[in-house]
Amino acid sequence: MSEVYAARRARLRDQCTAGGSAAAVVSRPANVRYLAGAAPRGSALLLGPRLDLLLCRSLPTGEPDEGRPDESLQVQVLSAAGGDAAVAAADLAAGQGADSLAVEEHHLTVARHRALTSVAPRLRLADLSCAVEQLRLVKDDEEISCLRIAAEIADQALGELLESILVGRTERHLALELERRLVDHGADGPAFPTSVGTGVNSGRGTHRPTDRRVEEGDFLSVCLGAAYRGYRSEIGRTFVIGTTPADWQIELYDLVFAAQRAGREALAPGAEYREVDRAARSVLDAAGYTDGLAPLTGHGVGLEIAEDPQLAPGAMGKLDACVPVTVEPGVHLPGRGGVRIDDTLVVRPEADGGPELLTITTKELLAL
């Protein structure tokens, strides 16, 4: 793995040099982890003119949720309690003779940026912008394999839940049980707070579980994901509780299913982000559900649960092969409930069989 991290850093360094910066400080945790193998709390990575260095507040533990630092990388523990790793990195960059330093202006606060300036007043600060996020877009085999395992864990947790009695249990308890099962099956932890919505709460994009209990006749929407070696999957399904779904439930389900399939089928290398969004959105639009739709049809996943690209009407850019994304349209009818169906897939060329579905739990409408 060490060569992988070194290669990533070399690519970033080339970009920095081309941009006129002799050194860079990476502070955004997912970016630090991508380049260094680990991102202990409060750490920063210096790509120095002479030496790369991971600066931490305490020695990395190597726990799965934190990662294990690349062995070829020197680690330095900050001596001052509460010291700022990015500020210390700027100081070291100046000490290594750098005259310019690229920083992540979309991550550093104004106050930290000022502290960097004041420890190294002769250093010209530039904006690294989202250079590391750009590198992170296309995943390598190792990353996709982590995502595949993360998706499998979530499938297992969800599958077990479906075998249990659901009526009478609260959204909160179902969410907690799913999270326990994720860990049972080897997740570092949940990829994001598990969402369970039943009845009137079903079908909402980012519903936080409440004390509402599952009742006969409810739609039940579940959205969960596992983090595995830092990589985060996402799956969302909607079920109906009881023996026979109502007609409106079947209709709404079929509609969202058709929208989600259209989105999945639009995934291909070279497809525009907004075309994928449009493929799914237009199905819901045509049925009159224009208002209240979520602003995104899907998003990238990786070391963060919602990373680039955004599959949205205004998004600019085209998909590449090996970009993992979610496709997650939904419709929520206020006061009644709704349906959301969410998969994680990897964009693949037609020749390789098209998009690879990572989350394989059935999308038939199950009556539980």
In the structure encoding, which two tokens stand for residue 246, read together? 């109502």
Binding piece for a second copy, criterion CB under 8 A, among 205-213, 242-250, 267-275, 346-354: 205-213
Which residue number, 182 or 303, has a Cβ lying nearer to a second copy?
182
Binding mask 112-131 for a second copy (x = CB under 8 A): xxx------------x----
281 and 313 Cβ atoms separated by less than 8 Å: yes
167 part of the interface to a second copy, by CB under 8 A = no
Q: Is 208 in the site for a second copy (CB under 8 A)?
A: yes
| Alpha carbons 176 and 182: distance in angstroms, whole number | 10
Helix (H, G, I), strand (E, B) or coil at 70: coil
End-to-end alpha-carbon separation of the chain, Å?
A: 44
- Considering beta carbons, is residue 9 or 107 the nearer one to a second copy? 107
Taking CB under 8 A as the rule, does residue 312 contact a second copy? yes
Structure tokens at 153: 């864990």
Number of residues that bind a second copy (CB under 8 A): 33
Element (H, E) at 252: helix 247-265
Q: Shortest gap between Cβ of 63 and a second copy (angstroms)?
A: 5
- Pick one of 11, 172, 318, 336: the residue that binds a second copy (CB under 8 A): 172
Shortest spacing between CB 314 and a second copy, in angstroms: 8
Q: How far is the CB of 120 from a second copy (least distance, A)?
A: 16
Q: How far is the CB of 130 from a second copy (least distance, A)?
A: 10
Residues 226-285 that bind a second copy (CB under 8 A): none
Residue 108 contacts a second copy per CB under 8 A:
yes
Q: What is the dihedral of CA 308, 312, 314, 318, to 10 degrees?
A: 60
Closest CA to 253 of 287, 216, 295, 209: 287
Q: Is 314 in the site for a second copy (CB under 8 A)?
A: yes
The reply on whether position 212 binds a second copy by CB under 8 A is no
Stretch that binds a second copy, among 46-54, 172-180, 235-243, 265-273 (CB under 8 A): 172-180
- DSSP code per residue over 258-318: HHHHHHHHT--TT-BHHHHHHHHHHHHHHTT--TT--S-SEEE-SSSSSEEEEESTT---B
Nearer to a second copy, 4 or 176 (CB): 176
Least gap, CB of 173 to a second copy (angstroms):
8
Q: Dihedral through CA 113, CA 98, CA 49, CA 59, nearest 10?
A: -40
| Sign of the alpha-carbon torsion through 256, 262, 265, 267 | negative
Q: Does 65 bind a second copy (CB under 8 A)?
A: yes
d(CA 53, CA 24): 11
Query: What is the contact surface with a second copy in residues (CB under 8 A)?
Result: 41, 61, 63, 65-66, 81-82, 103, 105-114, 127, 172-173, 176, 179-180, 183, 206, 208, 210, 295-296, 310, 312, 314
